[in-house]
Structure formats: structure tokens, C-alpha cells
């Protein structure tokens, strides 16, 4: 069995060396280092930064007038008779060049600026939400890896205890007080330990692969530190419910929807445009024309009003979605707080009651076996129960840390 442990350790060491160390990183990886690396490397955060930059670049154009139009042409050109299509044949023929500027009404321009500014705020919130998700998912992967590491770390001691048990069984059989068939039981226990270890090695590989998806090669380093313990202030979580990452986006979404309503209402106000033309004639003096035009929104019932109603319906949709999301996260918070209390009680019960009792049960069963009044099967069963409880303690601590991370990044750490 020593050979098996050495093979597992050799494989893990080779994997770490093969993937290489990360420059600037310590030999062991702390949770804080993992989160920092994830924020530096996450492509999704780079995408959100680009989205924010794009939204910011659209604010200034939203306040600008449309580009002016340049027009060139010929006026009063004959198309019949001897003068057909001849520029200088008719006195009224003129060559024209002009410029025209459309001017949307002021309310429309203000609404467009509000829409662009709300889009910037929405992009900024989405970046904050993505950052929190990257931090949370990285923390969960780190915790899952630590849980697997700690469970595997127990097996050195378990195999040593198994060897001592095998020696005790051999000594009793040699003294003529034990059954020959008892010699098989320690070997069976060792095989079952190896089976559990195989599952944990698999679990550690899966957890490290998940961590590697966030921080790259640094995920192969051994972990440093214990279970993270963010402050579990239940009252603060309840007070901060409306600041859940998935709810942060609704404020800028509502602002943008209201700006869209204002823009739709502004369609009832006429836009206008002005134009200036310069005309050159061959036999008469040059001329200048100036004109102003206005839109006539006289059919609001079939054009502008339906658009206004549509934008107001979208606003109501967003408000309803926020209420639904708030209720869902309220229920989620209540469930997770109850689960946190259950995990804390279960972990305390294992540490304070079940583990000491299981350890005492193993000691008493072994004493009975050595004295000849107990069966080896009782010892094996008691040892199996003790082993399961030791692994269960790590599992409960990992589940509590995982839930602690979800609560912290969902209801606690919501700052940009």
C-alpha cells in the first residue's frame, strides 16, 4: 500500500512540475492569490471592460446633431428643343450647391443622452456582477480542491493504523487465540481504503481542472491556508438583499427604459431642418436660397402613441421582473441561511460528539478483541465508522465554506 501512496504522490508531483510554476507566485497557492489571478486572467472580465468602453464612447455622439448633408445639382435644365441638356442655353439654368442640417428637438436629444448614460451605468454594473461571479466561482473551485486535499491527507494515517491492526491480528493468530480467517479482514479494509482514495484522487483532479479554468497553471500548486471564513452577518445579508448582483442591473435598466419613453414622447414634438443653397447662373447674377422645414406629427394616434405605449409596457416588464427576482433571492437567502445553521450544528455535532464517541468505540472494540472477548469484525466496523466520520467532518467544513462564499459574494461583497 505504501507503493500505491508513492505512485499517487509521484503522479501529483509530476503534474505540478509538468505544468510549471507561475512566476511571481509563492510555492503554495492561497485563496487571495487565486482570486487575484482569476481577476487578471478572466476573458469574461476583459469582455465586460470592452463593453463598458464601447458604451462610454457612445455618450458624446448621442448629444450631437446628425451630420449635415451636402447637395449639388442643376436647376431648370431644358430637356426639349434645341437647348435640350445644354447648361448655358437657357438663362434660368443654374448650377447649385447647398448644405442642409437636420435638428432633432431638444427633448429627443436629452432623452438620447439619458439612454446612452444609462447604458454606460448598465455596462458598469454588468462588469461588477461579472467580477463578483469570477471571484465566487474561483473561491468555490479553491474550496473544492482544498476539501479533496484534506481528505486525501487523512489516508497516510489511515494506512498506518491499518498496518498496526494487521500486526495485532497476526500476533493474536500466532498466539493461538485468533482465527486464521481474521488475517483477511485488515487486507479487505486496506482495499476499501484504496477504493475511497481513488474516488478522492478523481475528485481532486476534477476540482483542480475547474480551478485551472480560472487561473491557469497556478491551479496545480498545493494550496495554502484553511477554510475561508467571511463574516456571516445574517442581518447584514437580509438588509443587503436588494444589492444582490443579479438585482444591481435593474436600476440602470429602468433608467434606460424611462429614457426610451421620454424619447418616444419627444416624437410628438416636431423636428426641424434648415438648408442653404448657392446657385450660379450664366447670364444672371448668382443667387442664394435659405429654407427651414418642420416635421408634422399630426397622426399621433397611429404613429407616436403606440410607440409610447410599447416603451411603457417594457418599463412595466422590467419592474415586474425585478420584483420576481427579489422574491426569488429572498427565498434563496432564507434557504441558505437555514442551511448554514444546519451545517454549523452538524459540524459541531461531529467534532464535539460523534468523532470522540467513534474514537472511543474503536478503542474499546480493540481492547475487547485483544482480551479475547470481542470479534475482529466489530473492530473493523467501528474503524469504518470512525473513518467515515473523519471524512464527513472535512466534507461538512467544505460545504460550510462553499455556502459562506456564495452568501458573501451574493449578499455581502457587492462593491465595484
pLDDT, position 414 = 52
**Average confidence (pLDDT) over 263-269:** 93
**Average confidence (pLDDT) over 31-59:** 94
> For residues 188-222, b (16+ Cβ closer than 10 Å) or e, as one string?
ebbeebeebbeebbebbeebbebbbebbbebbbbe
DSSP H or E stretch at residue 8: helix 2-19
**Average confidence (pLDDT) over 237-247:** 84
pLDDT, position 2 = 45
Which of these, 51, 140, 168, lies nearest to 410 by C-alpha position? 140
Calpha distance 77→85 (Å, rounded): 6
**Average confidence (pLDDT) over 263-292:** 90
Calpha distance 137→227 (Å, rounded): 15
Report whether pLDDT(368) > 80. Answer: yes
**Average confidence (pLDDT) over 262-286:** 90
Q: Which residues pair with 100 in a beta bridge?
A: 69, 275
Instruction: Report pLDDT digits (tens) over 201-218.
Output: 999 999 999 999 999 999
- Per-residue HEC secondary structure of 240-294 comes to CHHHCHHHHCHHHHHHHHHHHHHHHHHCCCCCEEEEEEEEEECCCCCEEEEEEEE
**Average confidence (pLDDT) over 11-33:** 58
**Average confidence (pLDDT) over 234-262:** 89
Number of H helices and number of E strands within the chain?
A: 13, 4
Report whether pLDDT(23) > 60. Answer: no
More confident residue, 17 or 53: 53
Report whether pLDDT(13) > 70. Answer: no
Radius of gyration of the chain (CA): 38
- A 10 A CB-CB count for 240 gives 16
- pLDDT band at 164, cuts 50/70/90? confident
- Report the chain's mean pLDDT, rounded to a whole number: 87
Report whether pLDDT(12) > 50. Answer: no
The secondary structure of the chain in percent helix, strand, coil, rounded to multiples of 5, reads 70, 10, 20
- pLDDT band at 413, cuts 50/70/90? low
Instruction: Report pLDDT digits (tens) over 126-141.
Output: 999 999 999 999 999 9
Residue with cell 454594473: 125
pLDDT, position 26 = 52
Report whether pLDDT(145) > 90. Answer: yes
pLDDT, position 235 = 81
- pLDDT band at 22, cuts 50/70/90? very low
pLDDT, position 123 = 95
Q: How far is CA 164 from CA 161, 187, 192, in A?
A: 5, 12, 16
Contact of 404 with 230, CB cutoff 8 Å: yes
pLDDT, position 236 = 81
Q: How far is CA 15 from CA 10, 158, 221, in A?
A: 9, 25, 9
Cell of 71: 447637395
Calpha distance 293→219 (Å, rounded): 67
pLDDT, position 18 = 43
- pLDDT band at 10, cuts 50/70/90? very low
pLDDT, position 411 = 84
Query: What is the percentage of the chain residues whose pLDDT exceeds 70?
Result: 92
pLDDT, position 194 = 92
Instruction: Report pLDDT digits (tens) over 289-324.
Output: 999 999 999 888 888 999 999 999 999 999 999 999
pLDDT, position 355 = 94
Instruction: Report pLDDT digits (tens) over 247-257.
Output: 989 999 999 99
User: pTM for the full model?
Assistant: 0.79
Half-sphere exposure of 361 (CA within 13 A, CB side): 17
**Average confidence (pLDDT) over 98-114:** 94
Report whether pLDDT(28) > 90. Answer: no
Question: Do you know the residue count of the chain?
Answer: 416
Amino acid at each position: 500500500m505504501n507503493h500505491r501512496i508513492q505512485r499517487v504522490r509521484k503522479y501529483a508531483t509530476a503534474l505540478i512540475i509538468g505544468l510549471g510554476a507561475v512566476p511571481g507566485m509563492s510555492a503554495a497557492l492561497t485563496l487571495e492569490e487565486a482570486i487575484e489571478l482569476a481577476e487578471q486572467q478572466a476573458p469574461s472580465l476583459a469582455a465586460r471592460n470592452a463593453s463598458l468602453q464601447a458604451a462610454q464612447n457612445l455618450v458624446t455622439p448621442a448629444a450631437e446633431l446628425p451630420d449635415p448633408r451636402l447637395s449639388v445639382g442643376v436647376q431648370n435644365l431644358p430637356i426639349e428643343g434645341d437647348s435640350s441638356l445644354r447648361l448655358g442655353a437657357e438663362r434660368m439654368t443654374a448650377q447649385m450647391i447647398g448644405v442642409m442640417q437636420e435638428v432633432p428637438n431638444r427633448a429627443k436629444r436629452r432623452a438620447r443622452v439619458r439612454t446612452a448614460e444609462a447604458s454606460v451605468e448598465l455596462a458598469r454594473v454588468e462588469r461588477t456582477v461579472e467580477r463578483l461571479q469570477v471571484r465566487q466561482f474561483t473561491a468555490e473551485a479553491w474550496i473544492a480542491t482544498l476539501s479533496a486535499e484534506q481528505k486525501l491527507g487523512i489516508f497516510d494515517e489511515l494506512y498506518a493504523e491499518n498496518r498496526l491492526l494487521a500486526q495485532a491480528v497476526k500476533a493474536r493468530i500466532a498466539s493461538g487465540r485468533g482465527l486464521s480467517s481474521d488475517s483477511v479482514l485488515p487486507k479487505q479494509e486496506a482495499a476499501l481504503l484504496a477504493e475511497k482514495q481513488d474516488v478522492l484522487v478523481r475528485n481532486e483532479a476534477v476540482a483542480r481542472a475547474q480551478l485551472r479554468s480560472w487561473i491557469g497553471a497556478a491551479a496545480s500548486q498545493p494550496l495554502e491556508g484553511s477554510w475561508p471564513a467571511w463574516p456571516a452577518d445574517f442581518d447584514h445579508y437580509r438588509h443587503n438583499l436588494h444589492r444582490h448582483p443579479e438585482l444591481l442591473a435593474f436600476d440602470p435598466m429602468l433608467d434606460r427604459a424611462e429614457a426610451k419613453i421620454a424619447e418616444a414622447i419627444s416624437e410628438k414634438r416636431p423636428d426641424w431642418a434648415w438648408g442653404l443653397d448657392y446657385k450660379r447662373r450664366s447670364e444672371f447674377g448668382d443667387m442664394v436660397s435659405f429654407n427651414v422645414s418642420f416635421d408634422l406629427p399630426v397622426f399621433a394616434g397611429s404613429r407616436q402613441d403606440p410607440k409610447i405605449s410599447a416603451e411603457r409596457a417594457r418599463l412595466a416588464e422590467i419592474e415586474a421582473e425585478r420584483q420576481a427576482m427579489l422574491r426569488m433571492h429572498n427565498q434563496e437567502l432564507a434557504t441558505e441561511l437555514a442551511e448554514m445553521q444546519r451545517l454549523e450544528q452538524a459540524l459541531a455535532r461531529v467534532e464535539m460528539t460523534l468523532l470522540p464517541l467513534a474514537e472511543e468505540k474503536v478503542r474499546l472494540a480493540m481492547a475487547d478483541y485483544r482480551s479475547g472477548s470481542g470479534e475482529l469484525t466489530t473492530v473493523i466496523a467501528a474503524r469504518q465508522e470512525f473513518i467515515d466520520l473523519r471524512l464527513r467532518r472535512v466534507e461538512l467544513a467544505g460545504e460550510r465554506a462553499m455556502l459562506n462564499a456564495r452568501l458573501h459574494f451574493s449578499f455581502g461583497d457587492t462593491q465595484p
